[in-house]
Structure 1
Amino acid sequence: MMGEIRRLRTQSVLKELIPEAFATLGDCELRGLCVTDVECKNGRYDAFVYIDKMLLSESEQKEILKKLSKVERYLQNYCKEAEGWFRCPRFHFKFDDRLEYQNHMDSLFEKINKDLEKNG
């Protein structure tokens, strides 16, 4: 129970700190990124950071992920110093496709409802 509270708190703090750290970077592409969610796993050793796709192409997404892997250590240090932590989780950056998935599911359910009304 206590570990779960710490995990949720860490997720919440990182969801605020990572965008702050992005804002300090020199790369304007990275500065403009929007963090949609953070999930900590493995006892808070790993943090999966979900980023809004913002209509980026596949090649742009790959390029941004490369840049993020290069600045990961800087971002970790920023978060450690801001919170006074001894260690910071390892960041795994992913583009968030959950909204697209949700929209797809909604459209499928809408289609099913229309078919049921038509045939039922």
Structure 2
Amino acid sequence: MSVHLERTQSLLKELLIEALSSLEDSRISSVSITDVICSRGKYNAQVFIHTDSEDRAMVLKALRKASGILREYVLSNSGWYKCPKLEFVVDESMARAQSLERIFQSIAQENEAEKKA
């Protein structure tokens, strides 16, 4: 991947984090952005999010509605002449990492119980 594309993705991620925190909608202001992946031509960007909310569909719908505002924020603060189309995706890697951590903890507890017995 080119350095220019990585720099673009990093700046886009920072700007989107700022934009989300400035919104007054509590459903999406608490969303954290884990990663941004731009297409090669920078016309589209997948924005991976993590949310603690149980109703992820509602959060995604609110983010899709706010995408115009988010794109305007990015354009006004970046100096770019275009902003990629934003596609929001729930990042499942955090949940997988947490479940693996729970599995490792239970294995460690079982091993300790066997040593004591």
TM band (smaller chain): 0.7 to 0.9
TM-superposed deviation, 1:44 = 1.0
Q: What does residue 36 of structure 1 align with?
A: 34
TM-score w.r.t. length of structure 2 = 0.78
1:30 touches 1:64 (CA, 8 Å); kept in 2?
A: yes
The share of aligned pairs that are identical, in percent, is 33
Q: What does residue 88 of structure 1 align with?
A: 83
Taking structure 1 as reference, are residues 26 and 105 closer, same or farther at Cα in structure 2, changes over 3 Å only? Answer: closer
- Partner of 1:101, secondary structure, is helix
CA-atom RMSD in angstroms: 2.2
Residue segments in structure 1 that go unaligned for 5+ positions in a row? 112-120
1:21 touches 1:75 (CA, 8 Å); kept in 2?
A: yes
1:7 touches 1:43 (CA, 8 Å); kept in 2?
A: no
Residue segments in structure 2 that go unaligned for 5+ positions in a row? 108-117
2:50 touches 2:94 (CA, 8 Å); kept in 1?
A: no
Q: How many pairs does the alignment contain?
A: 106
2:37, 2:64 → 1: CA distance? 18
2:10 aligns with one of 9, 12, 17: 12
2:68, 2:79 → 1: CA distance? 16
Matching of residues 1-120 of structure 1 within 5 Å: 4-54=2-52, 56-57=53-54, 60-102=55-97
- Partner of 2:14, secondary structure, is helix
1:37 touches 1:50 (CA, 8 Å); kept in 2?
A: yes
Write out the 4+ residue segments of structure 1 that deviate beyond 2 Å after TM superposition.
Answer: 99-108
2:68, 2:3 → 1: CA distance? 25
- Partner of 2:83, secondary structure, is coil
